[in-house]
Amino acid sequence: MKKQGVLNAQLIKCIASLGHKDTFMIGDAGMPIPQGIEIVDLVLCGGVPTFKQVLDAVVAETEIEGYLLAEEISEHNQNMLDCIANTLPDAEALMISHEELKEFSKTVKFAVRTGEFTPYSNVILRSGVIF
């Protein structure tokens, strides 16, 4: 039995399948996930688990070289923007419109749904390489 880190079998399988430059999304409870994209649905109820809890757990298991955010986050959810920037200080950040983020989400390898209920708590992460 795995004894630390991400224990969700589906999520750890998805993380282990990532290659360099692959993208995946961590989203709030309301983010639409395009048909055909594998969903790791972690939401239990409103606020559980939080976006930050999931982001922290995933980042501990994954090399991240860059990420995409909706530019609307800076106006509507500055706390979450700060949280993401502080969690990924060395990753390249790119801001695009929320509509563009939803369009880009059609290309991700998988999506993780959290119980987050705050607006624009969505990020598309780009996998890095550890060597």
pLDDT classification of 126: cutoffs 50, 70, 90: very high
Can you give the pLDDT at residue 84?
98
Q: How many domains does the chain have?
A: 1
Q: What residue numbers bound the domain in which 62 lies? A: 18-127
Task: For residue 5, tell me if it sits in a domain.
Answer: no
Can you give the pLDDT at residue 18?
98
Task: For residue 4, tell me if it sits in a domain.
Answer: no
Encode pLDDT of 79-119 as tens digits: 999 999 999 999 999 999 999 999 999 999 999 999 999 99
Task: For residue 98, tell me if it sits in a domain.
Answer: yes
76 has catalytic annotation: no
CA–CA separation, 49 and 106 (whole Å): 24
CA–CA separation, 88 and 67 (whole Å): 9
Encode pLDDT of 12-33 as tens digits: 999 999 999 999 999 999 999 9
Rg, Å, the chain Cα set = 14
Residue 33, domain CATH: 3.40.1650.10
pTM over 0.85: yes
Task: For residue 70, tell me if it sits in a domain.
Answer: yes
The catalytic residue among 20, 85, 94, 107 is: 20
Where is the binding site for substrate, in residues? 28, 98, 120-122
Task: For residue 65, tell me if it sits in a domain.
Answer: yes
Task: For residue 116, tell me if it sits in a domain.
Answer: yes
- DSSP for residue 109: S
CA–CA separation, 18 and 101 (whole Å): 20
Beta-ladder partners of 22 = none
What the block records as the tokens of 56 is: 């922290």
Task: For residue 95, tell me if it sits in a domain.
Answer: yes
